[in-house]
Amino acid sequence: MTDSVKLQVSGPVDQVRATLEQALQPEGFRATWENAEDGLIEKGTRTKALLLGVFATHYKYRVLLHQQSDGTVIVDIGLANTGLSGGAAGVAKVRKKLDHVGRVVTGAFQSAGGLVNA
Rounded Cα distance between 86 and 42, Å, is 16
- Which amino acid belongs to residue 100? H
Predicted confidence band of residue 100 (pLDDT cuts 50, 70, 90): very high
Rounded Cα distance between 61 and 82, Å, is 10
Per-residue pLDDT reduced to its tens digit, 1-18: 678 999 999 999 999 999
**Domain-by-domain residue ranges, the chain?**
4-117
Q: Which residue has the higher pLDDT, 53 or 30?
A: 30
pTM equals 0.85
CATH superfamily entry for domain 4-117: Kinase associated domain 1, KA1 (3.30.310.80)
Per-residue pLDDT reduced to its tens digit, 57-81: 778 999 999 999 999 999 999 998 7
